[in-house]
Amino acid sequence: MATDIGINRSSLTKGDTSAPGDTRTAADDLDPGVLAGLDALDIPTAQSRPLAGRAWAAAWPKIGALVVFLLVWQLVVWSGWKPTYVLPGPVSALREFGSRLGTGHFWDALVRTIVRALKGYALAVVIGGVVGLAVARFTVLRTAIGSFITSLQTMPSVVWFPLAILLFKLSESAILFVVILGAAPSIANGVIYGVDYVPPLLVRVGRSMGARGFSLYRYVVAPAALPSVLAGLKQGWAFSWRSLMAGELLVIVPGHPSIGADLQNSRELLDAVGVMASMITIFFIGVVVDAAFNAADRQLRARRGLVAEGNSAVRAAQRGRSRNTAAPGSAEATAAGYPPAGPGAIGHDGGGANGGGEAGQS
C-alpha cells in the first residue's frame, strides 16, 4: 500500500528532484495547476465572468434560434403557400408590433392581462399548495382525491368556460375561475411528488435532532421538496397562461382591453398582421417569465452545489481524463503538464530510473 501511494503521488510531480535527506513530501511538489484541477473536481464552482460575457453567453443561443425561426417563416411566405393577406411576412408583423409599442391601448391591454395572470396564478399557488400539503400529509385524502387531481390537470382548460360563464357571466371572475382550475392541479401535484420523494433518512435525522411537526416540515421536508415544488410552479404557470389566453379569447369584457381581446378583434377584422403582432406579444411574455423561472432554478442549484454539465468542474474532469489516457512522453502528455519520458522520469507503472526504487522502499 505504501508503495502504491508513493508511486501515485510521485506521478503527479513534474520530476523527482528531492535530495536523499529532504523531508518534503510529494504533495509539496505538486503543480498548482494540478491542485486547482483536483479542487475543481471536489468543489464544483462556476467560473466568474464579466456581466457582459455572461449576458452574451445566455443571449446568443436564443438570438440564433429566433433568427432561424424568422428565416424559416420568411421562406414559407416566399414559397407562396398562402397569400400574404392570410400569412404575412415577419417584417410586416414585427413592424406592426413595434408600432403598437407606442400606443397607450397596447400598454393598457398588457397591464390588464398581466394583472389577471398574476392574480389567478397567486390564488392557484395558495389553493394548490394547501391541497398538495393536505394530500401528502393525510393518507385518507390521498386515497380519496389523489387521482382526481391528476384528472383535473389533464382536462383542457377551455372545457371549463361554459360552466364559468353560467356561474359568473361575462366577467373577470369567469376568467379567474378557469385560470385557477388550470394551474392549481399542477401545483398540487408538484407539492405531493416533492414531499413523496424526500429521502426518509433526512426525516429520521431531523427527528433525531428534535424537529417535530411544523419544524420538521419547515427545516427538513420543505427544503428537500423544493426542486419538485419549483417544477410544479413552473408547470402551473404554463397552464395558467394558456387558460388565461383561452379565457380572453372567449370572454371579452366590455371596456376591459386585453391582449387576448386584441387578438380576437384582429381575427374578426381579418387583420392577419394584427393577429401575428398579438401572437408575438404573447410569445415574448412567455419568454420573459420562463427566463425568470430559469434564473430561480439556477440559483437553487447553485445553493445546493448542483452544477449543470459543461461547467468548469466537468471540463476539469475531462482534462483530467485526457491526462490519464495520454502516453508518457507524448505531445499530449507534455501539453497536459507531465514530465517528458527519459532517465529519471517516473512512468505510469511507477518504474523509473530513480523513483521506482525509492517508492518501493518507502
Decide if pLDDT at 350 tops 50.
Answer: no
Q: Domain of residue 311: give its range.
A: 85-324
Confidence of residue 175 (pLDDT cuts 50, 70, 90): very high
Predicted confidence at residue 299, as pLDDT, reads 86
Count of structural domains within the chain:
1
Percent of the chain with pLDDT over 70: 71
Residue 161 in domain: yes
The verdict on residue 329 lying in a domain is: no
Whether 97 is in a domain gets the answer yes
pLDDT of residue 122: 95
pLDDT bracket for residue 180 (50, 70, 90): very high
What pLDDT sits at residue 253? Answer: 84
d(CA 128, CA 185): 6
Evaluate whether residue 11 is within a structural domain: no
Please indicate, yes or no, if residue 36 is contained in any of the structural domains. no
* Within-domain flag for 145: yes
CB count within 10 Å of CB 132 equals 26
Phi and psi at 116, nearest 5°, equal -60, -45
Cα torsion at 18, 22, 25, 28 (round to 10°)?
Answer: -70
Q: What is the mean pLDDT of the chain?
A: 78
C-alpha cell at 230: 419549483
User: Is residue 192 in a domain?
Assistant: yes
Is pLDDT of 322 > 60? no
The 10s digit of each residue's pLDDT in 242-283 is 999 999 998 888 888 899 999 999 999 999 999 999 999 999
pLDDT the model gives residue 11:
45
In a domain, 51, yes or no: no
pLDDT at 345 over 50: no
Which residues neighbour 244 within 8 Å (Cβ) at sequence distance 6 or greater?
A: 113, 116, 117, 120, 175, 179, 260
CATH number at residue 273: 1.10.3720.10
